[in-house]
Structure 1
């Protein structure tokens, strides 16, 4: 890696260059070896200047926020980690609602907490999700029936091809289920987001069954999308649900040393649903097949539950058991967790085993949700 690039970066205001800092200290999985260097950026101007410098010299760069959605190789190669520390959050009344502006390095749950404290509605169901505000449009972060696409007003992007910085509307990001045209590409860096939220102190419509039941919402009311509750009440219940599944970060709890939900819920053609149910019936019985979760999706497709399939394929909580360096969470089978001394290779091995086991049992192929750096689930 050109030392001249780092020398020039060292002169940029509000930057700090760190050598030999492994990704295991930058990611919630606590896995990954050390990049060539890590550059911490304390302002958006610093992020722009650093990325422009690295790109102009064709130095591979990985933009890091909260590190909650990264699987990084034990040897990530000759790349530079650019950590965004700029974390200003502003919540202001606008019309009959609120506009929330957050710099990319802001801890996402702090953004949600400030919005809820102001009585702004729309993001309370996204409470407790680890990571940074800048990652939310990249992943189109979602939980409990709400996605960031429902509240995103615009994102401030650094276009890495042109070096230009501009606010960009959501339509230009092609937001989909846990995806966008920013994910798995190096086309742009998210510098900040603006969210348009409601101002009546009530939540987004409560459609997700488990959360709705905890809040006393009748099934027909939830199905119709009519149920709303005070934002603070919804946030409290969401955090309780996530803690029960090991999905709120706790350094003392290895069940939270994860990347959250590791596999996306598979979306299949509706015509293939019968084949999947038949496979479930053959393995688990007709009653299980009839009870298998299957929800309508767009364009004649059906969304299945990855966690449900994983469990029925024989991978229970805590699999493969005590002493394994990487295990499924003891609280939630959709999370792969580092038990304290794992390497990325251990995680990859278990991810492949689970994916291939579900495919063999039910003919459904699961896809990882995190971004992979220097390693691949299909690699050697």
Structure 2
């Protein structure tokens, strides 16, 4: 075994997933450097085992024990550089806490990520999921991603186009990106910052505070307040944030739904399609605040599934499937989950 590595067998994962699901991994390795990651990938004791790269565990549902090796990305480091008069490049290691990183950028006087405040998880997970909130997605601010190709051990950078971003999607979630492990992420942020208040709820909240010219920190504080009001703290109630993606349908089908359901919440997309509010669909099917065994739907936000205590992966997946079936039966729309099932 490499002297750099400590392999821990039968490792409990409850504290490493925000749903708080009880499960264990056959092997666990804490990764604090690229050299450790490379050593783990070449370690004979781990050869042939299934592999799970784990960050903050905020976007997974553990369906049972993991009969393989968990490589827990715990790398650290943040830095910034002025790339040009217009742009400041900010880089963070994959293992950094996302919200702490956003707060750090604001402390450096750099805005651009404030709309993404308080999203759980790590920096490394941000481009994988193309996280987004309040009018901003990672694809809007990303400069490049440094990755390690697990099979070859080669380290290289990928620009925004190479990441093939989609709605809560990227190359890292596709078959041809399965061997790519995120090492660090660089963001291109504006040197001359202006608030992004295109999202109506955020704009209204800023206006209610009578902030004519809000600072980046004030926008961040407003986002944090909104999220805390609407979403449960994973440290208190196990959850993975928004569980379902907002479904996208054709303009024609949306028009048909509006004839039957005039209050349908929908948003026109640049390509002419319509994005529906998954939370509204779930709420209308009577699931908000409803429990199915130890798993349930959060009373304040129908898009969030929660572990009320002792829920296993099967409880979460059973609840999700029941919701999907009800929404499909009523609206003819199939919801897709955001988390990865392991």
Scaled to the shorter chain, the TM-score interval is over 0.9
Structure 1 runs of 4+ aligned residues shifted over 4 Å read: none
Q: Is residue 199 of structure 2 the alignment partner of residue 208 of structure 1?
A: yes
The Cα of 1:49 is off from its aligned counterpart by: 2.5
Q: Is residue 106 of structure 2 the alignment partner of residue 116 of structure 1?
A: yes
Match of 1:164 among 142, 154, 158: 154
Residue 17 of structure 1 corresponds to which residue in structure 2?
A: 7
Within 2, Cα distance between the matches of 1:102 and 1:260? 23
Within 2, Cα distance between the matches of 1:299 and 1:202? 27
The Cα of 1:274 is off from its aligned counterpart by: 2.3
Q: Is residue 221 of structure 2 the alignment partner of residue 236 of structure 1?
A: yes
Q: Is residue 62 of structure 2 the alignment partner of residue 81 of structure 1?
A: no
Aligned length: 336
Task: With the length of structure 2 as denominator, give the TM-score of the two structures.
Answer: 0.93
Match of 1:33 among 3, 17, 23: 23
Q: Is residue 277 of structure 2 the alignment partner of residue 305 of structure 1?
A: yes
The Cα of 1:92 is off from its aligned counterpart by: 3.4
Within 2, Cα distance between the matches of 1:353 and 1:44? 42
**Counterpart mapping for 1:237-276 below 5 A:** 237-249=222-234, 251=235, 253-254=236-237, 257-276=238-257
Q: What SS does the aligned partner of 2:10 have?
A: coil
Residue 285 of structure 1 corresponds to which residue in structure 2?
A: none
Within 2, Cα distance between the matches of 1:166 and 1:108? 22
The structure with more strand, counted as a fraction of residues: 2
Task: With the length of structure 1 as denominator, give the TM-score of the two structures.
Answer: 0.84
Residue 332 of structure 1 corresponds to which residue in structure 2?
A: 301
The Cα of 1:230 is off from its aligned counterpart by: 1.4
Residue 310 of structure 2 corresponds to which residue in structure 1?
A: 341
**Counterpart mapping for 1:211-226 below 5 A:** 211-216=202-207
